[in-house]
Amino acid sequence: MLKKLFAAAIILLGGSAAFAQTSPQSAVFLDNYMYGYRSNAAFQSEKSFFGFLVNDIGMSASSNVGLSNFIFRDATGAAVIALNNKVPAEQFLSKLPQIAVLSEDVNYSLFSFGMRKDESFFTLEASLRQDMYGSLSKDFFAFLKDTRLKPVYDLKETGLNTTSYFEIAAGYSRTFAEKFTVGARLKFLLGYAHSNIRFTQADVAAADGIKLDADGQMLVACNMLEMGTHVSDLSGKNVLDFTTPPVFVKKFSPAGYGFAADLGVSYKAMDNLDIYLGVNDLGGISWHYNTVGHVKGHYENESAETSFDSVTDQLEEEIKKLQGFSDFERQAPIKAFEGLSCSLNAGVKYRMPFYRRWSAGLNGYYKIGGPASWGEARLGTTVTPLDWLSLSANIGYGTFGTTGGAALSINALGINFFLSADSYLGGLGAYTMPQEEGASAPAMQVILPYNKFRFNVQTGLTITIGDRHSPFAI
């Protein structure tokens, strides 16, 4: 059972890929890019534009662990999973972060409009956004490896958080004295789904039998779904029913309302040098949690043995007793404010004086999101050989190791197409899923990044309007 649990953790942290607000780190270096104001509210597009449905779609996934954290080589060179007795506990655990995190985001723009006029720039857009992160504590893996390593294992950093909302944003930026550009975007947020599973206590002790103590809460805000309940046979409490799917309610209404803001400033220090600083997503949503569950309990079996196999067997044998321990008691709906994962960005861009169509830049980014916080610095270069074509390449290093990126923007015949990608640069490995003995079907293999990773891709098609404000003129 523990091997299956371990395999599920590998897939969760190393192999998930989903839609996701993404930050286009490669696109920030581009010329001819319409949506730079999303990275920094002071950025202005070179032309006015209009987009609908296919104007901007972004997807990303990242994790601070990879296959190399869970697969090792034994003395013969054969690959073994970290739970194998041939892998010392210290070797396995020394490679793990304190909190292993998978983060996934999505930004899908439904409508966007930008109007550029001399020194001013106005934008209006509507988007669907989603953020998700899951986390597992280092003690979780330590417990799976050997129940005798510590007297108590702290698992409270294990959790799951998802947020989905509709965003309407209006922005304005203006250049003063041909030097300073300041910008702001104000956002009205309609939350349609949010869930958060968190623990203030989750302790497991197995030195003298098995002892479990937990105090946790599950919050779900979604007016389209209703989770059922049943009376627990063990505790007699009215608890959330995880055995049947939630009931779909045929109505749509927001489960929360909120506001947020992006702020940015850019300064032209020299004719060829721009310096910028910005902060995004300052704000949050007040959610109405229609499903609230609370678990608080203590489980103890002093007669339990503590070997790896015996703990597995006893957990399976006493699953009915543990069911009462894990029941989330249904509680009254509540309202609570949840802040967005805000981000900071800063950088410089320098145009070569001998060829202004060639530029180099340095961009720093940091996202504040609790256990899913991350940051990186990225060095990029861009060349725009033709007025309608801009190409960029870059390399970055940060929380998820070394990443490479590339982007292009084509602006011709009144249409702008862009494509931006940030990619993990390490190797890939195949993980063979464990099977029951005697299984006839071949074992399934999953291709996963070998090291911690980040993937991000963003693309869109936009209609451009009016004259171009060329960045190449002195």
> What DSSP string describes 136-152?
EEHHHHHHHH-TTS-S-
Instruction: For 193-224, write each residue's pLDDT tens digit.
Output: 888 888 877 777 776 667 777 788 888 888 87
The pLDDT value recorded for residue 13 is 46
For residue 319, the SS3 value is: helix
Average pLDDT over residues 292-296: 79
- Contact in structure between 191 and 285 (CB atoms under 8 Å): yes
The pLDDT value recorded for residue 4 is 45
The pLDDT value recorded for residue 98 is 83
Instruction: For 81-109, write each residue's pLDDT tens digit.
Output: 777 788 888 888 888 888 888 878 888 88
Residue of 28, 39, 34, 53 whose CA lies nearest to 121: 34
- Contact in structure between 168 and 126 (CB atoms under 8 Å): yes
| Domains present along the chain, CATH in parentheses | 2-465 (2.40.160)
Which has the minimum average pLDDT: 116-125, 205-214, 320-329?
320-329
Exposure string (b/e) for 430-469, b if CB count within 10 Å is 16 or more?
A: ebeeeeeeeeeeeeeeeebbbbbbbbbbbbbbbebeeeeb
Tell me which of 448 and 410 has the higher pLDDT: 410
The pLDDT value recorded for residue 346 is 94
Number of H helices, E strands in the chain: 5, 28
Q: How many angstroms separate the CA atoms of 47 and 463, rounded?
A: 10
| Residue 392 binned pLDDT confidence (cut-offs 50, 70, 90) | very high
Q: What percent of the chain has pLDDT over 90?
A: 22
Tell me which of 115 and 450 has the higher pLDDT: 115
